[in-house]
């Protein structure tokens, strides 16, 4: 295995995007498999508008069509309007899923059920208050025969606001959850087996890089576990304050373990003194940011983590370039200096 393969791959897995495709109408039928997104949105910059005021704005055409996948980081409250129709001759029980677990608060409004939110979910309230005990915010409703209605969602979050929704029949949703749990179990189980395998290699060979790689795999896997909403669902369902800080906290820890592994794997202490010192300084900074992450807004912790990841990537690539030069042109290198022969 070349020394560049594992670190480059591990740096790349941090950058993930979620696609979104929009349509204009949610049509429910008996064979609903999870339709694409269909919504309008309005940005309440003051955060003080009531549900009745929002309905008036929607009727006046102030909402924007939902052909956007994300609004990024914003202090505004985002209102979503969904147009739901049932053209069949019987009632259909349907389920709406908001496909982003790391949201502080999302509320479900139906004007036929009053001015107050009918459902509430998000990591800003205890997990037990969710209408469906699932890692993502999920709301269920019943569409009456031959009817058409609007439902509204109110989203407020310190993290980035994704506009990604899916619609399911009840049976299809539960089948989806079972299949999803199988895939997540396969992924996390494979990562734990891989970590255990490298830990056994360390005990057998006493090679330190195996030990640090096992630590990194464990740290990165746990970060993914938290990022996908399982930490809040399984480990700390009532720890609202900690849930808001857990994503940047474990993100920074996984970056720290990655830097530690790269430093040992490339033997920087003996081969590249300058790079070793820079990696060591990065590790100290990451530990300081880890300790401070519970006391700053989540978005700042994420920004710090992404900035540090970019810095570590640049540092790693520069170090790897020097490694390649030494392998290709060893005559140009002497201990402690770089020179070209006359």
pTM of the predicted model over 0.85 = no
- Distance, CA of 141 to CA of 70 (rounded, Å): 25
Q: What is the dihedral of CA 261, 267, 269, 274, to 10 degrees?
A: -90
pLDDT in tens, the chain (342 residues): 444 445 444 444 443 333 333 333 445 554 454 444 578 899 999 989 999 999 999 999 899 886 778 888 889 999 999 888 878 788 888 899 999 999 999 999 987 777 889 999 999 999 999 999 999 999 988 887 878 888 999 999 988 898 888 888 888 898 999 999 999 999 999 999 999 999 999 999 999 999 999 999 999 999 999 999 999 999 999 999 899 899 999 999 999 999 899 888 888 888 878 888 888 888 899 999 999 988 888 888 888 888 888 887 887 777 767 666 665 555 544 444 444 343
Q: Which parts of 144-239 are beta strand (E)?
A: 147-156, 161-162, 165-169
The number of CA neighbours under 13 Å toward the Cβ of 85 is 8
Which helix (H) or strand (E) is 282 found in, with range? helix 273-292
Q: What structural domains does the chain harbor?
A: 5-14+175-338 (no CATH), 22-163 (2.60.40.2380)
- Distance, CA of 58 to CA of 83 (rounded, Å): 12
CB 160, CB 68: distance < 8 Å: no
């Amino acid at each position: 295995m070349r020394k560049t393969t594992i670190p480059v791959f591990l740096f790349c897995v941090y950058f993930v995007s979620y696609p979104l495709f929009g349509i204009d109408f949610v049509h429910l039928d008996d064979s609903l498999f999870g339709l694409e997104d269909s919504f309008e949105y309005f940005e309440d910059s003051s955060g003080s508008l009531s549900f009745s005021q929002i309905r008036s704005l929607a009727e006046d055409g102030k909402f924007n069509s939902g052909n956007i996948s994300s609004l990024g980081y914003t202090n505004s409250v985002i209102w979503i309007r969904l147009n739901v129709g049932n053209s069949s001759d019987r009632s259909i029980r349907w389920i709406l899923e908001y496909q982003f677990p790391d949201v502080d608060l999302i509320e479900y409004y139906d004007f036929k059920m009053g001015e107050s939110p009918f459902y509430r979910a998000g990591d800003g309230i205890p997990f037990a208050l969710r209408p469906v005990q699932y890692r993502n915010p999920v709301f269920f409703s019943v569409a009456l025969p031959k009817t058409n209605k609007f439902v509204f969602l109110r989203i407020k979050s310190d993290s980035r606001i994704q506009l990604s929704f899916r619609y399911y029949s009840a049976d299809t949703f539960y089948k989806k959850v079972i299949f999803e749990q199988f895939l997540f179990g396969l992924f996390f189980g494979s990562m734990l087996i891989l970590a255990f395998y490298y830990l056994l290699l360390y005990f057998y060979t006493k090679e330190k890089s195996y030990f640090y790689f096992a630590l990194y795999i464990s740290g990165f896997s746990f970060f993914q576990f938290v990022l996908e909403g399982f930490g809040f669902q399984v480990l700390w369902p009532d720890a609202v304050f900690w849930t808001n800080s857990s994503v940047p906290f474990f993100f920074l820890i996984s970056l720290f373990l990655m830097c530690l592994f790269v430093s040992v794997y490339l033997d920087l202490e003996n081969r590249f003194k300058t790079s070793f010192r820079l990696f060591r300084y990065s590790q100290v900074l990451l530990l300081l940011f880890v300790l401070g992450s519970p006391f700053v807004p989540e978005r700042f912790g994420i920004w710090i983590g992404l900035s540090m990841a970019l810095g570590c990537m640049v540092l790693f690539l520069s170090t790897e370039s020097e490694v390649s030069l030494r392998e290709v042109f060893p005559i140009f290198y002497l201990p402690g200096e770089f020179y070209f022969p006359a």
